[in-house]
Structure 1
């Protein structure tokens, strides 16, 4: 098959096996070097292959059905899974944050999806599965990492600044004013991967969504436009989600009398 614009290149079972074989070679090399990550690398790759293929079948079925309730049901499952991933990745966070994390993801995700679908892409129908489902996955994938990093950094920073926080509280500062430097630090850290991707896209790298559309036979310029829209949505969603979750959880570092609360007491 030629590489003319509009053609797509399908991957057969042998292609998947070869790709898995490349990972196996890397895993073997890591074992020979006693790096201790060979089994984890191989297991993660096999799990990713199964999960991606399963999601491919599910998305295909949802697109063919073109049913709004199936679209929202799949989004709900993805949101619940995202909350679990954030809770498992974030370090040093108190228990009971699943509710605030879920709420922040739902609010910000629905807002970003509404803006992208209704003001930018304007698909017909408005819940077009081939747009909404992949977009939800891309937005959640980046936001989950940002939230996990941001939450970990916030509680770590609050503990590092314990004496400073106590001094600020003693001088009459509110809990919010005392926690604000840690909140800003956590949001900045969560945004770093997104800003780095924005800075290098188109010069150093061709991002995944754009590359995927081009390989599938899409117009490169249109693929670039979609990629920029996704990056813009990710940046806005990350900032909003991080800011919202911090506004909901910063009080966990303080008692009802606005005194700093140690991690064991939370």
Structure 2
């Protein structure tokens, strides 16, 4: 049976025609949106073309990094990914104050360091320890999920704080600390940021075969091995997403208060 799996590895490559048909399918869906006046056709087409270009570019970059097999190049690429992730996070988050880039950067950096030190080096244990195929791809998967969750959590926090303005001011007047006054908003924001991640973790397997597992199986990997990798990735992403949401809340909640522990209405 292992011989059959090995023989099928890489047996289904996607050529240019496959990519073209995929884009045409998206164009048909966008056409339906136009006819039904849903208003998402432009964003859908733009997101599809942007995704194609970015993924192909990253594919060439990872191929180059794997060929060089140099740890410094790996970490340089991850550093660029983190910086880009900071910008994307700030762009996705709505109604947040300016100047939060350092907090977001620190949050993402901590998560990547935890992933590399715990997941890659203690669980996967690649050889060499900086194996680009593992290091870069797993960092990319983590950042993609953490960026989305962090943006949602920050947006929810500042929106919730504004809606609770009079409650927060009352709590402060009664002697509560800024953290105590902000805690309900912190809790609801972390929960909101975790909903997609927990839902994906809970539904994976019977209901959903995640992309990483599906891709490995299609490429000819042993399904059981692919399932183990997918579980590790989903479980770790869930844990690190919770850490990221909690950490970013601790780092940004003070921006809603002045140095005299008064609520900052313009936040």
Bin for the TM-score computed over the shorter chain: over 0.9
Q: Are 2:116 and 2:135, in contact at CA under 8 Å, matched by a contact in 1?
A: yes
Instruction: Give the equivalent residue in structure 1 for 2:174.
Output: 171
User: Are 1:261 and 2:264 an aligned pair?
Assistant: yes
Out of 118, 124, 135, the position equivalent to 1:132 is 135
Report the Cα distance in structure 2 between the residues aligned to 1:72 and 1:52, rounded to whole angstroms: 19
SS in 2 for 1:5: helix
Once the two structures are TM-superposed, the CA of residue 169 in structure 1 deviates from its matched residue by 0.8
Q: SS state of the match for residue 22, structure 1?
A: helix
1:64 to partner: Cα distance: 1.1
Partners of 1:80 and 1:212 lie apart in 2 by: 28
Which consecutive aligned stretches of 4+ in structure 1 deviate over 2 angstroms post-superposition?
Answer: none
> Is the CA contact (8 Å cut-off) linking 2:149 and 2:193 kept in structure 1?
yes
Q: Which residue of 2 aligns with 1:31?
A: 34
Q: Out of 93, 96, 119, which is 2:96 matched to?
A: 93
Q: How many angstroms does 1:244 deviate by?
A: 1.1
CA apart distance, 1:226:
0.5
Q: Does 1:148 align with 2:118?
A: no
Tell me what 1:61 maps to. Answer: 64
User: TM-score, normalised to structure 1's length?
Assistant: 0.96
Q: Which is further off, 123-132 or 34-43? A: 34-43
3-state SS in 1 of match to 2:5: coil
Deviation digits for residues 79-133 of structure 1, max 9, x if unmatched? 0110011100101100000111001110121112210112101111111101011
CA distance in 2, matches of 1:78, 1:141: 10
Residues 115, 139 of structure 2: 8 Å contact kept: no
- CA separation in 1, counterparts of 2:246 and 2:191? 10
Structure 1, gaps ≥5 residues long: none
Local SS of the residue matching 2:138:
helix
Give the structure 1 partner of residue 197 of structure 2.
194
Aligned twin of 1:251: 254
Q: Which residue in 2 is equivalent to 1:226?
A: 229
> Hey, what's the Cα distance between the residues in 2 that align with 1:102 and 1:145?
14
Match of 2:121 among 118, 122, 140: 118
Using the size of structure 2 for normalisation, the TM-score is: 0.95
RMSD between aligned alpha carbons?
Answer: 1.0
Work out the CA distance in 2 between the residues paired with 1:239 and 1:40.
Answer: 30
